[in-house]
Amino acid sequence: METVTLNNGVEMPILGFGVYQVGPDETEAAVAAAIAAGYRLIDTAAAYRNEEAVGAAIAASGVPRDELFITTKLWIQDAPAEENTARAFDDSVRKLGLDYLDLYLIHQPFGDYYGQWRAMEKIHREGRARAIGVSNFAPDRLLDLVLNNEIVPAVNQIETNPFHQQTAAHEVLKAEGVQIESWGPFAEGRNGLFTNPALSEIGGAHGKSVAQVVLRWLVQRGVVAIPKTVSAERMAQNLDVFDFALTDAEMTTIGSLDEGSSQFFDHRDPEMVRWLSARRLD
């Protein structure tokens, strides 16, 4: 497995396994299969409500803890944000059955994320999270956090796929030393991704699937990705992307698919801000 080096020297696998929208009853088996297939980066979140199942799979795997890279995410916290962030972190590591996290992310750029970030800086200094970062932060909001806080986020996890390539955001992140990580690398199959003629033709030239082409494209851009599947066969296929390389012409072709907008929703849409900001975890 190839890795990227975060801005604090921590090594992170460039491909991992995500469990968004995997129900708690399916998660343990899916994570167990992923670890058995060779995944070492596992990504979950408090909002996914499956941290306990992820933890059960980790405990049963027999893989040494230091060989795994475990990420979870902090949901929007009510005031006092610093106190509630510390409590939320403790809840997550308890559910995961771990002593520390490899990466802890602010899940959404709403609420008192400055207070959340100060609490996360403290967690990081105490060694309970090897790295801290954010998710869904637009470049301006990310830069605001970088310029006005002590610790630069190690990662920004944002929607990144062939139809929403985040090229400009990626450049800002690189300039600030923040690793880009893709959620939704396959756009959940939207916009006909898996039957796209250009991606299918490139896959045919290499004897690879469209999914493998997309993951290879992300790897060559230096983007960490966390594809989700509950199929053991597809888990193995998604890892099998290190034995070929896309040509410059193929990278350009994929680049031409960019529509420059989300395949899901816009975090700057006022109605989406209202909806996310109103959500609280029980």
CATH number at residue 143: 3.20.20.100
Question: Does pTM surpass 0.85?
Answer: yes
pLDDT of residue 39: 98
Q: Binding site for substrate: residue ranges?
A: 107
CA angle 40, 42, 48 (to 5 degrees): 170
Q: Binding site: residue ranges?
A: 107
| Beta-carbon contacts of residue 246 (< 8 Å; ≥ 6 apart) | 202, 206, 213, 216, 217, 220, 254
pLDDT of residue 24: 85
* Catalytic residue selected from 48, 100, 104, 114: 48
Q: How many domains does the chain have?
A: 1
- Strand ranges in the chain using DSSP code E only, listed in sequence order: 3-5, 11-13, 17-18, 41-43, 69-74, 103-106, 132-135, 155-159, 179-183, 224-225
Residue range(s) defining the domain that contains residue 107: 3-278
CA angle 20, 23, 28 (to 5 degrees): 95
Q: Is 104 a catalytic residue?
A: no
Query: Which residues of the chain fall below pLDDT 50?
Result: none
